Structure 1
């Protein structure tokens, strides 16, 4: 898919794409780490400003940077250039950082740049006032954009509903109005009975007027991934706000026999009134080596990827496995060497499971002890079995 925010990929620009880029305008991403070239030079955000002779600065609104190609481009010349443009800023871009200031000054004083800049401003004003030559076409485009915006609004609401209630999305079929096509398509069909937007959308699909209907499993996965990313970002912001947090880890193999480790972070939600302790599940981590060192490295990489500080860990909870709680090579000992303030607390459910298993084993060996404690142990086991502490 075309990245409309990176000028390095604007090779074949038609009228539709040009209008879209003019409407969006030049986008500059903040806090970018500009890579160094072979001379240890790089692009700088200071080039976005032009120093005047009277000491004031002027914004070069036309200057954009391509992260993909590590080059600078002229926004208006890239869109409105003639076939044989002499400026590199309108074509393949410039990455000569040593002479960039000189070339920018030379470019913005050229007649070609002035004409393209005027064409850009006039096109932007016409689109804003809806006074373009193809006015009716622009109105149809805006109407179509609004339709797709409303469709996506409803699809996102369905994804949120199914995720909150922990329901499966797909069934055995992926077509509307078929049996066993899953909860997602089923909710879409139900909304189409009452909502004119989805009713029109279904009519366009059935009449084969559109082929991109945004109902496939790929779109569902993309929506789930995007929403999950936003939720994770919100969780990370809450953890950073509270600063200190605890880590809870546990490993289990999935259906494909791949060992996975759950990462749960526990912190104080200071944004709520009153403040309360909360736990957040972040992700599943694939584990290739189940030793203490292997598990620790996976956890450290995950903490680093979430942009959290390992020195702010104030607690950790694991099961009773030797690779977890081992006092010499376990995860808790290795993390304690990195952060002495990370207090270790063994899992209460795992500890209770071991206690009851040892009690039952002792009862089998001693019949008198078994008969005296058989009934209490039986009820205790039944109680904690209902809680899911052990099988």
Structure 2
């Protein structure tokens, strides 16, 4: 693949043309086609020769555009979309079988190409192998379309997120330049937003954010940790397993130690004893489930009960 603005050398340009031509010539396809190649060929689909192409004569016969169609019993004509003509080999191939039929059975339309114009096999297009290959072709094509739609949405989200972070960074850089040009100190006695004495840098960001929704959204964003308790409730003769959401905890220190201290302090503030805990459940983050420094390990060290 060439980059925009980059001029290809003669050899590279020739190689690229050969690769492009090979997409439409089944006779040049490799014997073992990988998934990436197969997907590419399905996306491009079979190609027809140019409208005025002169088909060569072989043994007194020649291929015609009429062979790309099949007459149905009711008199209607149906396109043989699976059929592709190779100009280099003067032969036709069943593209769907060449791509998706994994059987060992030798079929001219799949392997070396067919030149029997009189019998471009109607038996072939009604065979079990061909129909199965057609279904695989249709499924793959639909999946690729769906994936393209999902990829497009993901790319759009990535672009929006990239733009947002660039705008945030641009504002921060302007604040840095402003303070530096006036030899003003950045740091104060506090390193937290919206606290007295947090310095010129954080204070300037807070001021700009009052009039700028982009920076305001960035400063308002806070990391949170949810706290959920599962417990057994015994009331009279009724025993129930319950689950209660206690709330979100703001998180400044995301290390295993910082999160553990936050949880322990929260339990103490709500008169919940750590020694009553009989089990823990966390996500797969290393700071949560780490066997040495994770929250799970630290809670276990504080509690005599084990999971």
Give the TM-score taking structure 1 as reference length. Answer: 0.32
Give the TM-score taking structure 2 as reference length. Answer: 0.40
The higher radius of gyration belongs to 2
- Which is richer in helix? 1
